[in-house]
């Protein structure tokens, strides 16, 4: 049936058109995948071994983050088609972070920092991920992370959607290591005053 486009194909085309409009005609890069998630071509493609991913990010002078999403999540869509469509946000994140995208109910096998191999869904449970999108940020080095309980391994977390300026501020907060001296709320207050 050549020439017939599937519903999924139509969604991908519509999503790409919406992304281009959201980027002010600049042509956003997010693509709706077969898994129902929007993907950025600059997101980390890995073997899903978290310690290795964090180590590679550190070696490149970047920080490591996990973006948890879910098929059909309207705020995940907004994260891609609004927040990440802004060049200033995407450029800052690309330059300073390796972002691994995971599915909160996914079945791909992930090797956690302690060496255990679990599904994405099980990993989300270990880390107490309950909402999408959620962004998790980890320390600059993986040394010792495996010995900590999963809920104590991250340096910052944003559960739920953030408006674009706050989303960018979150990544700046982590890049500047401001979490060592203040909360994200305090960081935002100081930035706005």
Looking at residue 28, its pLDDT comes to 52
Report in angstroms the alpha-carbon separations of 122 from 49, 140, 142, 149.
15, 24, 20, 15
Question: How many helical (H) and strand (E) elements, i.e. helices and strands, does the chain have?
Answer: 7, 8
Task: Using alpha carbons, select from 55, 60, 174 the residue that is nearest to residue 111.
Answer: 55
pTM confidence score: 0.84
In the block, tokens 């599937």 appear at: 6
Q: Is the pLDDT at 14 greater than 90, yes or no?
A: no
Task: Using alpha carbons, select from 34, 21, 167 the residue that is nearest to residue 90.
Answer: 167
Q: Is the pLDDT at 125 greater than 60, yes or no?
A: yes
Q: Which domains does the chain have, with CATH numbers?
A: 42-192 (3.40.30.10)
Angle formed by the axes of helices 87-96 and 164-175, nearest 10°: 20
């Amino acid at each position: 049936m050549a020439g017939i486009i599937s519903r999924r194909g139509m969604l991908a085309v519509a999503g790409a058109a919406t992304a281009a409009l959201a980027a002010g005609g600049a042509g956003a890069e997010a693509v709706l995948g077969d898994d129902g998630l929007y993907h950025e071509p600059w997101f980390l493609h890995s073997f899903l071994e978290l310690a290795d991913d964090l180590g590679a990010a550190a070696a490149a002078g970047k920080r490591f983050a996990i973006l948890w999403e879910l098929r059909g999540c309207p705020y995940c869509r907004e994260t891609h088609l609004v927040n990440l469509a802004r060049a200033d946000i995407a450029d800052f994140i690309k330059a300073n972070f390796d972002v691994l995208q995971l599915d909160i109910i996914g079945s791909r096998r992930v090797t956690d920092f302690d060496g255990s191999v679990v599904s994405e869904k099980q990993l989300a449970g270990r880390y107490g991920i309950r909402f999408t999108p959620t962004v998790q940020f980890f320390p600059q080095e993986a040394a010792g992370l495996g010995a900590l309980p999963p809920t104590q391994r991250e340096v910052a977390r944003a559960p739920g959607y953030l408006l674009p300026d706050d989303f960018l501020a979150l990544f700046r907060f982590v890049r500047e290591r401001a979490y060592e001296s203040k909360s994200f709320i305090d960081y935002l207050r100081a930035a706005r005053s």
